[in-house]
A and B are shown apart, each in its own frame.
Chain A
Amino acid sequence: MFKNEEMEINLGPQHPSTHGVLRVKLRLDGETVTHCRPMIGYLHRGVEKICENQSFFQGQVWTDRMDYCSAVANNLGWAEANEKLLGITVPRRAQYIRTLLNEFNRIASHLIWLGTHAMDIGALTVFLYAFREREDVLDINEAFCGSRLTTTAFRIGGLREDLPPGFEKMVRKFLAKFSDCLEEYEALLTENRIWKKRTIGVARLSAEDAIALGVTGPMLRAAGVAYDIRKAFPYAAYAEMDFEIPTRTEADTYARYQVRMAEMRQSARIIQQCMDGMPEGPVMAKLPKILRSEVNEVYHATESPKGEIGYYLVGEKGSLNPYRFHVRAPGFINLQSLPKMAEGGLIADVVAAIGSLDIVLGEIDR
């Protein structure tokens, strides 16, 4: 009657906790996971190939659609990589506005993570609170560039438009209430006994493993490595901003939750500084009408809410489109660490591990 057999099951591709179409092949011994193999590619659209066949400007709409929760961060990395390739200097005011929108995007992405991650684990209430504030961030996106999710916010060389009238009032209103909102979420989770039981000590990933597996972002910082590209290789206006890198040393799901909550506070600080110190001036560099590249290859990495998003571009002499367009998607690399976290744990903790990775399959499959 009692057999000592291992069972193989598929988690996904159509499972609500996999945040898209991720399929995880699990081999189970009772409730313990003995083998875990993530299988991806269900959302592969060939973004790299498409962008190689379009002009430098046209690639941006595809970066929106890779990680649709943090479109502005993807746009920023794309714009800066192209500027590095073509050798363009961006005006200071544009840098400030980019930084501001990028931090708003970090808040929106972390909020959607908080809501869905808590819902995976069973805390349903937080979802509604988190989406209430996310709505305000999307309104700010809409006020700036007309769209809420797939923003296409920037242009190569700066911005298309300056800030709209009434923008500052919206931002100040948001900042005034946001710290109270964060306390609301934390009141629901931080000392919640069930939440702590489901997250503390779950899905550990040590700093050595994380670095070896190329894991970046909040996952790495929760393991005690203070590596943030905004500080290590400053871009946009981050060199002029005063903020801290929140780190924890426990390297478990709870530590990742704490790191992301602290990051949202730092983002609000950066937004405050951007708004206070916003310089005057033009928002677009002086550029020729048609951009033609020289022979050059660049790799530009920026800190997206999920980790390091890098664009590797190769330019051909006199060409209107990039010869090679490669995206180093943070989710793709971070997902490699799932077997390390899940093997040896319980099957219910696989869901917590996937949630703490904060993956979006659109960017993993590209």
Chain B
Amino acid sequence: MSEPNVPQTPEAAEVPAGPYVYDYKAAPYRQIAMPKTVPLPSYRTYVAEQKAAAEADEAKWQKTLADYETAKAKAEAEGKDAPKPPVRPVPRKDDNDMKPPVPQEATDADLLKLKELLGDKVEEIFEQAGELVCQVKKEAIHEALTFCRDEAALKYEMLADQSSTHYPAAKDFACSVVYHLTSISRRKRLRLRILVPEGFAPESACSLYPSANWMEREIYDMLGIRFQNHPDMTRILCPEDWEGYPLRKDYPTVGWGQRDIAFREDRGGMLERIALQKAGQLGINLKQPKAD
């Protein structure tokens, strides 16, 4: 067998002596794009936005009309032809099967009953995409859950899911916590929502719904919200000594800290040397990157 055409490995002298330092802070996966809006569905905000949009539309139309009147008067004075009267634009209708659901006023009996029971502790109440949503004051969540479970007209037996979302762009709160309740006997679902500021510890739902145990541990693990009177407030998915809360929006996708260790300890540039050697065997020139 003839000798295969193996490229020569680079000489030892070409390998830099200094340590190999990769700038992790500048790596593309570490760049975090913080959200600029607070996507928190709410009937009140929706109505206000619709009203503002309609008013802006009307003002624009009035301005167009006024411009037309001045242009017409000017043309008449100069003896020219009158300009074309403006046509009010009709909103374009998309020809597809997509109709994003919008918040609607609460008409469901369960929501009205809950509002009657809780009174001014209800902050927001509406329906969207066929789902019932009730936002209560953060101190009143235990009371609201008790009503939902024990009231004969509500009877939500199961806490199906509990979750949380981080809203860094919001001013007066940091996270929302949502409770998805299911009534097996009445075939209904209800979402309770609270908004918690940084450092606030809401009351745990464990005493009412034991299924909240692991879900609240997961919320603590992923978003750092502690719950009061929880029997076992420890991390569940991440190791106990993990730093940071991964589902917060300021946490990079690749995490931080853990991956740098191998490189940080590479004082002698060992990894660089190995990489150059391997590349040389494969015939790749790592030393001269392609010109842009």
- A residues sitting closer than 8 Å to B (CB atoms) are 40-41, 44, 46, 48-50, 52-53, 84-89, 157, 211-216, 225, 227, 232-233, 285-288, 291, 293-299, 301, 308, 310, 312, 314-317, 319, 323-324, 326, 328, 332-333, 335-336, 365-366
Contacts and interface: CB of A to CB of B under 8 A. Distances in A.
Nearest to A297: B41
Contact of B39 (A227, A295, A335): A295
B101 A310 contact: no
B98 A312 contact: no
B256 to A, nearest CB: 13
B104 interface: no
Given A214-B209, A287-B98, A293-B100, A41 B237 contact: yes
A287 B131 contact: no
Nearest to A316: B39
B214 A333 contact: yes
B236 A88 contact: no
A87 B102 CA distance: 9
B246 interface: yes
Interface in B130-176: 131, 133, 157-161, 163, 165
Contacts of A46: 246
A216 B189 CA distance: 15
A88 B246 CA distance: 31
A299 B214 contact: no
A49 B253 contact: yes
B131 A314 contact: no
B1 interface: no
B253 A211 contact: no
Contact of B178 (A85, A285, A288, A312): A312
A357 B239 CA distance: 25
Given A295-B40, A296-B100, 17 more contacts: A40-B236, A41-B238, A49-B246, A87-B101, A89-B99, A211-B157, A212-B211, A213-B210, A225-B184, A285-B97, A286-B96, A288-B94, A294-B101, A299-B180, A323-B165, A326-B163, A328-B160
A287 B96 contact: yes
Nearest to A212: B210
Given A88-B98, A214-B209, A310 B35 contact: no
A260 B210 CA distance: 26
A41 B235 CA distance: 10
Contacts of A287: 96-98
A199 to B, nearest CB: 25
A48 B247 contact: yes
Interface string B208-248: 01110111001000100000000000011111000000110
A332 B216 CA distance: 12
A288 B253 contact: no
Interface in B94-141: 94-102, 128-129, 131, 133
B253 A50 contact: yes
B187 interface: yes
Contact of A233 (B189, B191, B214): B189
Given A233-B189, A298-B129, A324 B98 contact: no
B37 interface: yes
A44 B235 CA distance: 13
A41 B242 CA distance: 12
A211 B237 contact: no
A233 B131 CA distance: 12
Interface string B42-72: 0000100000000000000000000000000
A316 to B, nearest CB: 4
Nearest to A298: B129
B180 A233 contact: no
A214 B95 CA distance: 42
Nearest to A324: B165
Given A288-B96, A336-B211, A299 B161 contact: yes
B97 A44 contact: no
A46 B37 CA distance: 24
Contacts of B187: 232-233
A27 B66 CA distance: 84
A88 B97 contact: yes
A44 B218 CA distance: 12
B258 to A, nearest CB: 12
A155 to B, nearest CB: 13
Interface in B181-221: 182, 184, 187, 189, 191, 209-211, 213-215, 218
